[in-house]
Structure 1
Amino acid sequence: MTAHHSDLVVLGGGSAGYAAAIRAAELGRSVTLVEKDKLGGTCLHRGCIPTKAILHAAEIADAVRDASSVGVAATFEGIDVAGVTAFREGIVAKKFAGLTGLIKARGITVVTGEGQLVVDDDGPAVTVGEDTYRGTDVLLATGSHTRTLPGIEIGGRVLSSEEALALAEVPASVIVLGGGVIGVEFASAWRSMGAEVTIVEALDHLLPAEDVSSSNALERAFRKRGIVSRLGSRFASVSQTDAGVTIVLADGSELSADYLLVAVGRGPSTAGMGFDEAGVALERGFVSVDERLRTSVPHVWAAGDIVPGLQLAHRGFQQGIFVAEEIAGLGPVMVAERTIPRVTYSHPEVASVGITEAAARAAHGDAVAVSEYNLAGNGRSEIIGTGGIVKIVRLVDGPVIGIHLVGDRVGELISEGQLAVAWEAHPEDIAPYVHAHPTQSEALGEAFLALAGKPLHAL
């Protein structure tokens, strides 16, 4: 057995892991990064990047169909699935090459293989085969995996998001089980590409974690697009043949389609890697950490999707950077979960930061004020042909505590919302600042003006 030593050993090369490795190397630490697959993890290869490439292709398909409405002569002749796949894979390949080059330039040692955490009298380490990679500190950043439901086996015409990415066709019809972010994004893309889509969601709204106004706006938009939503409907069973799938709901009704996409969330990837045996405390499969991301074992840290909370790549980036800086003694500030922006890249997009109106009223009662601005009054939104809303939640005579947006491209606006919420800005503080005209950001400005008591383009 060969032993190696680094200041930091990172188990997992996804968003949290590689961010920690890069930042630690920038701070002069020697770093070993253990990854069983490819640097970049799920986000780069099977999640964020490839799905957004498909959604962009779907957006182009919609634009071509609607081109005549703006005076452009164009003919939509269908989806070239091989072409979309080549586009998607080309984007992923470029980003992977860039990340690989960045890791190499920082002098980070990359070990390919399945790592196991071990803790002994000499401290924490990660073993890969017969080799031991010991670190003064070890970061666990092993990410997440696709969840399913009892009675559902992925295979054939029953897909997870990974199999959906690999489809060599646009389904004529598809059932999406789960109305969260993943389900909504695939439903949106497939509908733009010509599929008949039905979403089955056990709760009362699509995107149930979002403000109900955002969910309602998305549901209206999806109905106009011909996407069927079966809300408050629980799954009972599924069967498949060579030709299609049939699912039975708890009320006894049946739905049939070419494919079923199972999009019921993601679970932490912590099993079978020695965490339990090393004494790392787990709860429901997630790694228990303190407010500084320390686990129950000294010098063992955790970041990203295995830490309870939002499962978002940018949260993983932030946590990985935080751990590297904490180890270096820089005393970094942990970003509160409520200030992390959330975006669903459907058509229309849904973006938010902070808390919902319902959560605000539950916590503060009548000391809550809300402004809602319809994008129909925004010139730029009218030009690009999107409807939607801007909703801002504040405390009466107090700061902004929640911002909720629906509309095409609103994900690009949420960073301003993050600043407002994180800095506890009052609408009166923001109202004097001018938004460029014509931009969609003016809609945010209008909502801030309304909450400051001086609306301009709203009654």
Structure 2
Amino acid sequence: MSDPNAGYDVVILGGGSGGYAAAFRSAELGLKVALIEKDKVGGTCLHRGCIPTKALLHAGEVADTARESEQFGILAEFKGVDMPAVKKYKDDVVSKLYKGLQGLVKAHKVDFIQGTGKLVGPNAVQVDDGQTVTGKHVVLATGSYSKTLPGLDIDGEKVITSEHALELTELPNKAIVIGGGVIGVEFASAWKSLGVEVEIIEGLPRLIAAEDADSSKQLERAFRKRGIKFHTGKFFEKVEKTASGVQVTIQGGTVVEGDLVLVAVGRGPVTANLGYEEQGITLDRGFVPVNEHLQTSVPGVYAVGDIVPGIQLAHRGFLQGIFVAEHIAGLNPAPIDETGIPRVTFTEPEVASMGLNEDKAKEKYGADKIKSVNYNLAGNGKSNILKTQGFVKLVAVEDGPIVGVHMVGARISEQIGEAELIYNWEAYANDVAQLIHMHPTQNEAIGEAAMLLAGKPLHAHD
């Protein structure tokens, strides 16, 4: 390690997605970088979020395939779920990626400093071992934590967060999920596939309420078919622990019983007691407001990732980290369009989206200026092979570009790349309709939707 007292070009507080992306890109641009992290490089996404959760979801998909193999003409016997083995599979995936990430830190010649950092000046971070690390620029990337609500006392056993859920070696018979956003529905989906009875309580009118209304309806329809119960438009009133598990009372007096409660009410920013406010950093409900260049209220100090107001996604952190590094290096990168960040909920079926949902598009452009079409996956060959139901929905400005792409279906997340290009390149329906989409793939569904929107449908009714 270089002498920390010598000073750096960039000091990064937090080694999650945004932090290490900023570190790697800064190093590539010839800057001297220090990366301070209290735990392991990779942060929540790698160790307690995206990666382990998706491994759990894949294990559930395999379980479902084994149960349903006869519908494909394959005779197989499903003997159950070995949860310790599932956990080992999940941990092995995380471990392999973590080792690769450690190698990249060394390869980029980034000085990794293990410890809890605190901002003690506009260009200085003090680590808990007593050393002070200084830099011309500081990047705050301290991530997020699982939130709770009054009346939800997390004990790690009967009332748990997603972090606890990932460490289970024994599955409950029944789980109650408080929160029907992305985290809540993903765990509900995974647990159901692994044989758990699940019931969701969501205060908003629909599951994954941030998504297009049609996507929510399709997911709710699929969950009902799978036997996942849910209550929407109703908040919980109290949670009581019993000798056998938990009892949740929801608005209206309905009582739901289960073995445990998963609290999935969102994630809060990790900014408390880190010296931010003392050094003049403006906070808003704990988040760090930034300008279009991701600069905070203090010159020379940037913020990226989950502590910045907006959607909390690892790839948003990557993008912001790269942007900050290039801005510091004087490359003048284009400001990030937050609406142009792809979103996927990895349930069964998956929900993927890009750009504006229909309601937001109507708010922005006027209801009379928006046209939308839904292409049903029932007309798609590959979706029939996969035995999945869903759709591709395109939202467009009349005589203008496509401003939203919304998709539901098994494995439909693999099509998000083209959706991203359509939105970010402001493509018109005719632009996409004339492209050749490989047959038979689910990717064809995007082309079919574009042809429908352009008024020349092939395998859909206009």
Within 5 Å, give how 1:366-405 maps onto structure 2.
Answer: 366-405=368-407
| Aligned residue in 1 for 2:296 | 295
Distance across 1 between alignment mates of 2:367 and 2:61: 41
Deviations 1:291-322 (A, max 9, x none): 10011111100000000011000000000000
2:168 is the alignment partner of 1:164: no
Give RMSD over aligned pairs.
Answer: 1.0
Matched residue, 1:260:
261
Contact 1:117 1:273 in 2 (8 A): yes
Question: Does the 8 Å CA contact 2:241/2:247 hold for their aligned counterparts?
Answer: yes
Contact (CA 8 Å) 2:21, 2:322: kept in 1 or not? Answer: yes
Give the alignment of 1:202-281 within 5 angstroms: 202-281=203-282
Q: Which amino acid aligns with 2:349?
A: P
Q: 1:184 is matched by which residue type in structure 2?
A: V
Q: Give the counterpart of 1:49 among 48, 51, 54.
A: 51
Assess if the C-alpha contact under 8 Å between 2:355 and 2:403 holds in 1. yes
Q: How does 1:132-211 map to 2 (within 5 A)?
A: 132-155=132-155, 156-211=157-212
Partner Cα distance (1:400, 1:4) in 2? 51
Contact 1:197 1:228 (8 Å CA) reproduced: yes
Residue in structure 1 matched with residue 124 of structure 2 by the alignment: 125
TM-score, structure 2 normalization: 0.97
Match of 2:28 in 1: 26
1:97-112 equivalences in 2 (<5 Å): 97-112=99-114
Q: Distance in 1 between matches of 2:111 and 2:36?
A: 8
Q: Can you list the C-alpha shifts for 1:144-170, whole angstroms capped at 9, x where unaligned?
A: 110011111111300100011111212
What secondary structure does 1:248 align onto?
strand
Q: CA deviation at 1:334?
A: 2.2
Native 8 Å contact 1:65 1:76 kept in 2: yes
Distance 2:347 2:435 in 1: 30
> What SS does the aligned partner of 2:244 have?
coil
- 2: CA distance, partners of 1:196 / 1:318: 38
1:339 is aligned to 2:340 = yes
User: Does the C-alpha gap of structure 1 residues 114 and 242 become closer, same or farther in structure 2, counting only changes over 3 Å?
Assistant: farther
Query: Aligned partners of 1:217 and 1:69: how far apart in 2?
Result: 23
Alignment pair present for 1:446 and 2:442 = no
Number of matched pairs: 456
Check the 8 A contact 1:201/1:229 in 2, yes or no.
yes
Alignment check: 8 A CA contact 2:4 2:134 kept:
no
**Cα gap change, 1:457 to 1:49, in 2 (>3 Å):** same
1:279 is aligned with what amino acid? G
Quick one: distance in 2 between partners of 1:242 and 1:424? Answer: 58
Compared CA separation, residues 434 and 239, structure 1 to 2 (3 A): same
The code of the aligned residue for 1:158 comes to V
C-alpha contact (below 8 Å) 1:4/1:132 kept by paired residues: no
Q: Distance in 2 between matches of 1:199 and 1:377?
A: 32
Of 415, 418, 421, 2:417 maps to: 415
Q: Is the 1:46–1:165 Cα contact (8 Å) retained in structure 2? A: yes
Residue 127 of structure 1 aligns to a residue in which SS?
A: strand
Q: One-letter code of the match for 2:288?
A: V
Instruction: Report what 2:363 is aligned to.
Output: 362
Which AA in structure 2 matches 1:113? G
Q: Indicate the SS of the match to 2:9.
A: strand
Q: Distance in 2 between matches of 1:178 and 1:22?
A: 35
1:277 alignment partner, SS class: helix
Q: Distance in 1 between matches of 2:217 and 2:16?
A: 34
CA distance in 2, matches of 1:77, 1:204: 38
Aligned partner letter, 1:150: P
- Give the drift of 1:360: 1.4
Say if 2:22 and 2:322, in contact at 8 Å, map to a contact too. yes
Q: Cα offset for 1:415?
A: 1.3
- Deviation per CA, 1:262-315, whole angstroms, max 9, x where unpaired? 000001110010001011011110011111001111110000000001100000
Would the aligned equivalents of 2:292 and 2:336 in 1 still touch at CA under 8 Å? no
**Secondary structure, counterpart of 2:239 in structure 1:** strand
Q: Aligned partner of 1:413: which letter?
A: Q
The whole-number CA distance in structure 2 between the counterparts of 1:3 and 1:22 is 21
Gaps of 5+ in 1: none
The 2-side partners of 1:242 and 1:437 are apart by 56
CA contact (8 A) 1:15 1:43 kept: yes
- What amino acid sits opposite 1:369 in the alignment? K
Any idea what the Cα deviations from partners look like across 1:110-147, whole Å, max 9, x if unmatched? 1111100011xxx5111013100000100000001100
* CA distance in 2 between partners of 1:5 and 1:179 (Å): 46
Per-residue Cα deviation, 1:80-129 (whole angstroms, up to 9, x for no partner): 0011011000000000000000011111111111100011xxx5111013
Shift of 1:342: 0.3
Structure 2, gaps ≥5 residues long: none
The verdict on how the C-alpha distance between 1:435 and 1:245 changes in structure 2, with shifts beyond 3 A counting, is same
